[in-house]
Chain A
Amino acid sequence: MTANSSAGMAAVIVTAIATILIGMYGVRAVRTTGDFYVASRTVTPWWNASAIGGEYLSAASFLGIAGLVLAYGTDMLWFPVGYTAGYLMLLVLVAAPLRRSGAYTLPDFAEARLESTVVRLTSSVLVVAIGWLYLLPQFQAAGLTLRTVTGAPAWVGPVVVAAVVLVSVLGGGMRSITFVQAFQYWLKLTALALPVVFILLAWQSDGRPELATPEEPAFTDRTAVEITTDVTIDVTDPVTVRADGTIDGEPIDDELTLTSGEHDITAGSVLTFPAGAQIPHASQLTPMSGEHWALPMRSGGDHPLYSTYSLILALFFGTMGLPHVLVRFYTNPDGRAARRTTLTVLALLSLFYVLPPLYGALGRLYTPELLLTGRTDAVVLILPGELVDGAAGQALTALITAGAFAAFLSTSSGLTVSVAGVLSQDLLGRRVRNPVTGFRLGAGLALLIPVGLALSSPTLSIADVVGLAFAVAASSFCPLLVLGIWWRRLTWPGAVAGLITGGGAATAAVTTTIVLGPQDGWLGALLAQPAAWSMPMTFTVMIVVSLLTQRHVAPGVDRTMVRLHTPENLDLDRGDWDPEDRWRHP
């Protein structure tokens, strides 16, 4: 084991142990949910905002954005912009009413507003679907990180993260510990911000080379590339390399001319390219010339304008429908604080999201071999070690690894708690009598399925899969929340019809893309970025069906509107629905 990998290993172990310990400490500090409820009143918007940021910044933000920027350039900047703007849309459309509803989960909200258990059940199924879709890339990223930093087999990462999450969730619930999540935000910010300073200095002392030369990327020097996962590469110009390992199933240790077309390279092979050789890309990546890389509207496949708008819609309106976001709003004392917290969250996210694109851009210059190995998502982990020598480089790599692990752990804990809660309350409920056993079973199930998927499904770009989860959320819960909060005539049959058609269609499109891979032409664009058609579809179905079923308008809707929209300091009758009842009378 090299010095670099032991530093990385140490970072992973420290982060994991700290998370488990804090989870256990949390049990002692927060004995009852009531304590949590009371504690939530004393948390200031500042801490709360840090906690929301800590939970929100996932593997997609920490690793995925930089990887996408490395491969596809300018267009990928929409991801961080959309992740941030999602909180603006959440703020102006739902933040305060959502907090005032007192709902703890999305199914809670649906039931309270529409007074129907059918809509609750439908929401529960969708929460689980979105949760799994969001957890999948977290686990894939964990596998990638452990393998990059320590050389461990790909299955170790998902299993380690799932185990740590399970222990901490079952031990005490990360959810109750605002300060842990808050700390995670600052850890993640430091872990990206500090190395960036060194990287920029290294680039500066290198004479600030041009980031994007107009041609396709090429090796500047003679470069040996070690292949650590099996990869199929697409060679455009024949190139003679020195190969040691297994190419196209043949063992070889000699000069070899790679002809145009696809070649399978087995893990463990080393290819040494001559200086100036064009870099063959892994077959799942589309090569881009530097000129196109630096320009917008070049990477959206056949229909860049449609794909860009659909992505913008999904990211802008998906955030409010993510299962783990609503839980955090509950720790705001009131609706006004919820707004102020969201404003702070926007500022904190803006601060963070300036950083990942820098890694992507400099990574294209200094670690272009990732285009060949196809593991572009690893650029954040590799770049500091590549540019900064010696102990400083190792320390920076360890810091980044710790940050990445914090990202997987915080987001997957938040999601696991949400998914497990929904699974145990709404889907397992009647079959398991003891609620604690139910929650444990739910947590196990919540983790088992995405870990299984992460181990078996083809490697997709982390940020892409997360983008798909946003598309489903934007086509299901965004319309439910917006119409539920602002439109009295929404009925439960309307909501259910919308969730099933729009949410279902988006889920189907997304699943097709994940299982079959990207398709060509208009069909491919519509399936890969469904939000632009599925979100309006949900809105339309919800509105039309509601208008047709007006006798099902919730009887208490006027009272619910008072509850959602009036400031808490006014002495008004807000109805007797109280989600905290279930904590007081278990």
Chain B
Amino acid sequence: MTERVTVTGPRRRRPRARRQAVAAEIDAQTQLGEVYMRALLRAQLRLGLTVAGVVFGLVALVPLAFTFAPRLTDLELLGVPLPWVVLGGAVYPVLITAAWFYVRHAERIERDFAEMVGRR
């Protein structure tokens, strides 16, 4: 007969206490609470600016490329000129992918923040 073991969860109390503490710090607008808030803002802003910057940068290259490398505009894909391929179709999947990437990562940042503060 196997020996009976009582399974306990001794670590449960401490994190909850810590979580409540973080929420309280934010509510009370203490310096510590502000540190948490600023970290959240900075993470979200960095993500947003990165995605915006990369997409805007890529798109902004297109007029430059067409102006200074006019030979690009002579290329064709299945009979459609390259500028039409890029602006009439190819750009859209890029936008959607960037949006999907952003949503995924923004939600992850919020999950991490929620872990720290504790759910309702």
Give A contacts to B, CB under 8 Å. 74, 77-78, 81, 84-85, 87-89, 91-93, 96, 294-297, 304-305, 308-309, 312, 316, 336, 339-340, 342-343, 346-347, 350, 353-354, 357, 486, 558-559, 561-562, 565-567, 569-573
- Report whether over half of chain A's contact residues are helix, strand or loop; otherwise say mixed: helix
Q: Are A569 and B119 in contact (CB under 8 A)?
A: yes
Q: How far is the CB of A501 from chain B (nearest CB, A)?
A: 24
Main secondary structure on chain B at its contact with chain A?
Answer: helix
Q: Is the CB of B120 within 8 A of A569?
A: yes
Encode B81-120 as 1/0 by CB contact (under 8 A) with A.
1011001110111011011101100110010011001111
Cα-based distance from A339 to B91 in the complex (angstroms): 20
In the complex, are the beta carbons of B83 and A74 less than 8 A apart?
A: yes
A336 B107 Cβ-Cβ under 8 A: yes
Alpha-carbon separation in the docked complex, A135 to B113 (Å): 42
Interface string of B50-67 (1 = CB under 8 A from A): 011001100110111011
Known: A77-B87, A92-B52, A308-B63. A347 touches B96 (CB 8 A): yes
A297 touches B96 (CB 8 A): no
Instruction: Kindly list chain A residues whose C-beta atoms are within 8 Å of the C-beta of B51.
Output: 88, 92
- Shortest B90–chain A CB gap in Å is 10
Q: In the complex where A561-B41, A572-B26 touch, is A296 in contact with B95 (Cβ < 8 A)?
A: no
Given the known interface contacts A565-B37, A571-B23, A573-B27, the answer about A343 and B89 at a Cβ–Cβ threshold of 8 Å is no
Chain B residues within CB distance 8 Å of chain A: 23, 26-27, 29, 34, 37, 40-41, 44-45, 47-49, 51-52, 55-56, 59-60, 62-64, 66-67, 70, 73, 81, 83-84, 87-89, 91-93, 95-96, 98-100, 102-103, 106-107, 110, 113-114, 117-120
Q: Is the CB of B99 within 8 A of A91?
A: yes
Task: Please judge, given known A-B contacts A297-B66, A346-B96, A569-B120, whether A85 and B59 are in contact too, CB under 8 Å.
Answer: yes
Candidates A81, A305, A342, A571; contact of B87 at CB < 8 Å = A81
Residues of chain A within 8 A (CB-CB) of B62 are 296
Distance in Å: Cβ of A468 to nearest Cβ of chain B: 20
User: Which residue from chain A places its CB closest to the CB of B51 in the assembled complex?
Assistant: A92
B111 → chain A, closest Cβ, in Å? 8
Q: In the complex, A559→B66 CA distance in Å?
A: 48
B37 touches A294 (CB 8 A): no
Chain A residues near B110: list those with CB within 8 A: 336, 567
Residues B60 and A309 in contact, CB atoms below 8 Å apart: yes
